[in-house]
Copies of this chain bind each other. A is one copy, B any other.
Amino acid sequence: MLNSIKESPLYPIVNPRSIAFFGASNNFFAMGTNQFTSLRALGFEGTIYPVHPKEEQVQDLKAYRSVLDLPEVPDLAVLVVPTKIVSEILEECGQKGIKQAIIVSGGFKEVGKDGVEREQELVEIANKYGIRFLGPNCIGVANPYQKLNTTFLQYLGVPGFIGMASQSGSFVTQMFNYLSRLSLGFSTAFSVGNEANVDIVDCMEYLGACPNTKVIALYIEGIGRGREFVEIARSIIPYKPIVAFYVGGSETGSRAGFSHTGALAGPDQLYNGVFHQSGVIRAYSIAELFDFCWVLGCLPKPRGARVVIQTHSGGPGAAAADSCGREGLELPALSPETLEKLAPFIPNTGSINNPVDITFTKKPMDYFSDIPKVLLEEDKADILLIYFLVPSLMVKRALEHMGLSEDQAIEQSGKMIDAQCKSIARLLETHNKPIVGYTFRSLQEHFIKSLLNHGVPVFPGPERAVRAIKASMQYSDLREKILASTGNG
């Protein structure tokens, strides 16, 4: 593992002080212009030099006819230009002394034989000048900590803890919105495209050393350097988890990957072996990839597989119990001490088995404070899984009926929600056990969103919550195996 990201040749690609941008113009429907607009929208603080053969100015920046005219040697060149002029521009970048590039343009290995030759030409130019480049056929990088985003879509939300290396650009740029809805964000994300020069292994190595990255997400259509993948992953696992979504394992997925990035996939079994040996957790969808990262990145590691379910609704409790059973998690019976402590909070309609089904709380706050506290104190509870409805709804309605204006009712129920969320967040801090929520409400509702903002993951439905908990346990196992085999256990 690298000691510092500064040792990585990728460092200047995601932390550039200055960028030469090829392909932005005043045509706002052009791809290059879009990427240029994203870059500026995030407020990149370094210098940007648009290079354009005809324009005097691109948007409000002075444009240069040629990279050779630039007043300095930029750290990074971004190329969003027609296929046929890519090599010529890369050559000029080399002449100028630029050492890092992102080649967005497509039309290379992914389109077949001619493309392969064109791609080889890029590699040769890069080797001649000592250039390291991402792509071609990629959309570059996002490093929100540096206000850097070279992709199509605007970066949304806050800088986060998920480091990503992806063989699909969409799974970088189109996830900004997705992650921000979960109150998550990228630390640094790479779209690697055809991996002609920099590959997913290089990016993984960078992310392993990146201090903002708590968990690494990979989207994989095929791994080129298998041995290095295993080696570098194993060096990272003791420090942070890695989750991979691999689509090449089915015949149809493999074919689609090939025409997408020219990746050569292998059968599921082979890749499962590689992932297992590497200590990498496999996800089977994009949703799972980020679900797993969520729990792995923001919760303490569970000490075991024993889950206590807290609910006020029988059906959602039974569904969660069923899901735990299917994934091999245990629902321990509660100890007599816990049952005694719970008793005052549970009406006679409730059930103090596990799931703990409150049915109805006279003091709504109990559900968010004393009840989960008692459950977290239970020795046999490794993980607390809580069902969340939106308790404020009925309270708001009651307050309105009691004569409060709608504004007052919203204000009062808002205060209640804040207190409830803070209480759960505090329990997460004081007890060192994972608390995972699930709901059928929108994650964008005030109450749920507020939980997310307090670092409590809440999943749409129990199944996703349970799978994510399972992934978290899997990481502990994989990590221990690697530590044991390297003599560090």
Contact = CB atoms under 8 A, between A and B. Distances in A.
Given A245-B319, A255-B353, 7 more contacts: A83-B348, A110-B351, A171-B316, A250-B325, A252-B322, A252-B325, A256-B331
A318 B219 CA distance: 11
Given A169-B315, A284-B463, A321 B34 contact: no
Interface stretch (A13-21, A116-124, A373-381, A440-448): A440-448
A384 B313 CA distance: 38
A60 to B, nearest CB: 11
A150 interface: no
Given A153-B393, A389-B174, A393-B153, A247 B287 contact: no
A94 B437 CA distance: 45
A348 to B, nearest CB: 6
Nearest to A330: B252
Interface of A: 28-29, 31, 34, 37, 59, 83, 106-107, 110-111, 152-153, 166-171, 174-175, 177-178, 181, 219, 221, 245, 247-253, 255-257, 259-261, 284-287, 309, 313-326, 330-331, 348-349, 351, 353, 355, 357, 359-360, 389, 393-394, 397-399, 401-402, 440-442, 444, 460-463
Contacts of A256: 309, 314, 317-318, 320-322, 331, 353, 355
Given A153-B393, A398-B28, A463 B178 contact: no
A285 B461 contact: yes
Contacts of A315: 166-171, 219, 260
Nearest to A320: B256
Nearest to A250: B325
In the complex, which of the residues A167, A256, A316 has the most CB atoms of chain B within 10 Å of its own CB atom? A256
A316 to B, nearest CB: 6
Contacts of A287: 460-461, 463
A105 to B, nearest CB: 8
Contacts of A398: 28-29, 34
B286 A440 contact: yes
The 4 closest A-B pairs by CB, nearest first: A168-B315, A253-B322, A250-B325, A260-B314
25 contacts: A29-B394, A37-B401, A166-B315, A167-B315, A168-B313, A169-B315, A174-B389, A177-B442, A247-B318, A247-B319, A247-B322, A248-B322, A250-B322, A250-B326, A252-B322, A252-B331, A253-B318, A253-B319, A257-B318, A259-B353, A260-B317, A260-B357, A284-B463, A285-B319, A286-B440
A253 B321 contact: yes
A16 to B, nearest CB: 24
A402 to B, nearest CB: 6
A291 to B, nearest CB: 11
Contacts of A351: 110, 259-260
